[in-house]
Chains A and B, each alone.
Chain A
Amino acid sequence: AQSVTQPDIHITVSEGASLELRCNYSYGATPYLFWYVQSPGQGLQLLLKYFSGDTLVQGIKGFEAEFKRSQSSFNLRKPSVHWSDAAEYFCAVGRIQGAQKLVFGQGTRLTINP
């Protein structure tokens, strides 16, 4: 069965510190991987996606993620967080071929300390 695990429910970091949010997936085929961000009361905004090519992908707002097939991971990173990065982050997996439902992780809530 397809599944996504985000082990950290809540993370707190100081403004300016580096960030890594973990995501592990279980998928029977070549996955299409996504990170979305959701600010309070808002919909989901795509940060970045991966389905082939360079395993280090760059996204919006200074985020990047690295696909590691051997570890079934797709961790999200940012070298220096800003207070505006406080939000909930969701990792998701889908099938590469064709329109397909996404399976989401439970989300990681990020709090930024000033």
Chain B
Amino acid sequence: GAGVSQSPSNKVTEKGKDVELRCDPISGHTALYWYRQSLGQGLEFLIYFQGNSAPDKSGLPSDRFSAERTGGSVSTLTIQRTQQEDSAVYLCASSLALAGEYEQFFGPGTRLTVL
């Protein structure tokens, strides 16, 4: 079956612009996660959604970052007023989140470059 997909694969933007990154999880997966991978910081958790529960936003680095998940499926990560330090690969993952089935399946990522 189809895996996690992300779009765009690459995004170049100018400092101060807003960007939206999209994630399509595996069908039927109730949990969706966003991570950021950058040089020097490694892989960092940003936010996750689990069913109808309030999202865990504890990893968002600033209030310029937000995410939503519509209809329990597709998610959009929005970064407002981008800064150069936002340059990174943004990875999305999804999981079934059932007992014993918490494996997270990752998408290919979106490489964001802020000039």
User: What is A's interface to B at a CB cutoff of 8 Å?
Assistant: 32, 34, 36, 41-46, 49, 51, 90, 92, 94, 96, 98-107
Q: Is the CB of A101 within 8 A of B48?
A: yes
**Total of A-B residue pairs, C-beta within 8 Å:** 56
**A103–B45 touching, CB < 8 Å:** yes
Could you tell me if A107 and B42 are in contact, using CB atoms closer than 8 angstroms? yes
Which chain A residues lie closer than 8 Å to B102 at the CB level?
Answer: 32, 51, 94, 96, 98-100
B31 contacts across to A, CB distance below 8 A: 99
- Cα A103 to Cα B45 in complex, Å, equals 7
Q: Please indicate the chain A residues that have their CB under 8 angstroms from the CB of B73 in the complex.
A: none
**Which stretch from B63-71, B75-83, B105-113 is at the chain A interface?**
B105-113
A43 lies within 8 A of B107 (CB): yes
What residues on B are CB-neighbors of A42 within 8 Å?
108
